[in-house]
Amino acid sequence: MAEPLFSTAVPARKPFIKWAGGKTRLLAKLLPYVPETIVNYHEPFLGGGAMYFALADRVSKVSYLSDLNEELVNAWLAVSNHRDELEAALEDYRIKDVAGGKDFYLSVRTMEPTGVVPRAARFLYLNQTSWNGLWRVNRWGKFNVPWGNRPFRGLTRDQIDSVSLRLETADIGMRDFRDAVTLAQPGDFVYLDPPYLPISDTSKFYLYTEKRFRAPDLLELAELCEDLSERGVAWMMSNRDTPLVRELFAGHEIVSLTTRRSVAAQNKRDVEPSDSLEAIVIGRS
């Protein structure tokens, strides 16, 4: 088993987006395997960015943050670059949510706004008020999650400012994982948290974009990790602990952790045991 090399301290910053598979609960177990000092940081499957917020202070230069979910990336850009406009837009959503409840939610779900801030405000509203905070799209890329029956709280100005300040040295973009780490070099650190393969043929939770992540993609990711190791780049990957993951990453250190899943499933065939095994694959430089 790989031994932790570094500090176990977890900074008290939390993601401003709730994302299925987020790593907030696992940070205390993950951070000991992350280098204490990082030149550039690369995270191609950004999601809510729990790992980034936890280790941002360790990065001396640039953090390359990317994802394939266009609405998600747009929200990150809005918080980073449009603080005043976003604060006003979120307050407008909060007022309308109080008055409209479910009917307002359903109307927002079908909206297709344009512009960085209007799109980000809609995304953040749906993220906070949808069923279990889930972001799911159909094969045409349309958001289709039911109402979650909870109020929209938005983001405080302090939250927006704190995140924006943290992102001053970040390069945020919509990039495929195959392209997102081409600049990684010795001294950098790459964290990979890809969509997990479905637990059943009917599972839809990995459809957070209209493009599915499948077993061949995981194979390509394993090959990419081999290349990172050959280039002397430190990396770490989180995934479900399965025979396929252990086969594809057999040449690397694997730590098995127990985690409690936070996203329930509407289809009983999609439900995992409340305590599931997580594989942490560690690529030392």
Closest Cα to residue 105, out of 113, 92, 118, 96? 96
Q: How far is CA 140 from the centre of its chain?
A: 21
**pLDDT at site 1:** 47
Are 128 and 246 in the same domain?
Answer: no
**pLDDT at site 223:** 97
H/E element holding 281?
strand 275-283
Q: Is residue 11 part of a domain?
A: no
Are 185 and 265 in the same domain?
Answer: yes
Residue 112 has pLDDT above 60, yes or no: yes
Are 182 and 274 in the same domain?
Answer: yes
Domain that holds residue 139: 73-158
- Find out whether 270 is annotated in a ligand binding site: no
Give the SS3 label for residue 147.
Answer: strand
Are 189 and 54 in the same domain?
Answer: yes
- Find out whether 211 is annotated in a ligand binding site: no
- Find out whether 171 is annotated in a ligand binding site: no
Are 64 and 82 in the same domain?
Answer: no
Are 86 and 40 in the same domain?
Answer: no
**pLDDT at site 260:** 72
Are 42 and 182 in the same domain?
Answer: yes
Q: Is residue 228 part of a domain?
A: yes
Residue 135 has pLDDT above 50, yes or no: yes
pLDDT classification of 209: cutoffs 50, 70, 90: low
pLDDT classification of 270: cutoffs 50, 70, 90: very low
Q: Is residue 38 part of a domain?
A: yes
CATH of the domain at 126: 1.10.1020.10
CATH of the domain at 35: 3.40.50.150
Q: Could you tell me which residues come within 8 angstroms of residue 99 by beta carbon, excluding any fewer than 6 positions away?
A: none
Domain count across the chain: 2
Mean pLDDT of all residues in the chain? 89
Closest Cα to residue 285, out of 53, 34, 27? 34
For 115-131, what is the mean pLDDT?
A: 98
Q: Is residue 251 part of a domain?
A: yes
Distance CA 92, CA 10 (A): 34
Percent of the chain with pLDDT over 70: 86
**pLDDT at site 206:** 44
**pLDDT at site 50:** 97
For 225-238, what is the mean pLDDT?
A: 97
Are 37 and 99 in the same domain?
Answer: no
For 140-168, what is the mean pLDDT?
A: 95
Q: At what angle do helices 116-129 and 83-110 cross, to 10 degrees?
A: 60
**pLDDT at site 275:** 73
Relative to beta strand 234-240, strand 275-283 is antiparallel
Are 182 and 277 in the same domain?
Answer: yes
Are 92 and 229 in the same domain?
Answer: no
Residue 133 has pLDDT above 80, yes or no: yes
Are 88 and 125 in the same domain?
Answer: yes
Question: Secondary structure of the chain: what % helix, strand, coil (to 5)?
Answer: 40, 15, 40
Q: Is residue 63 part of a domain?
A: yes
> What is the Cβ-side half-sphere exposure of residue 148, based on CA atoms within 13 angstroms?
20
> Can you tell me which residue has the tokens 């979120």?
90
Residue 9 has pLDDT above 80, yes or no: no
For 183-198, what is the mean pLDDT?
A: 94
pTM of the model: 0.88
Are 54 and 192 in the same domain?
Answer: yes
Q: Is residue 117 part of a domain?
A: yes
Q: Is residue 19 part of a domain?
A: no
Residue 201 has pLDDT above 90, yes or no: no
Q: Is residue 46 part of a domain?
A: yes
pLDDT classification of 168: cutoffs 50, 70, 90: very high
- Find out whether 67 is annotated in a ligand binding site: yes
**pLDDT at site 200:** 60
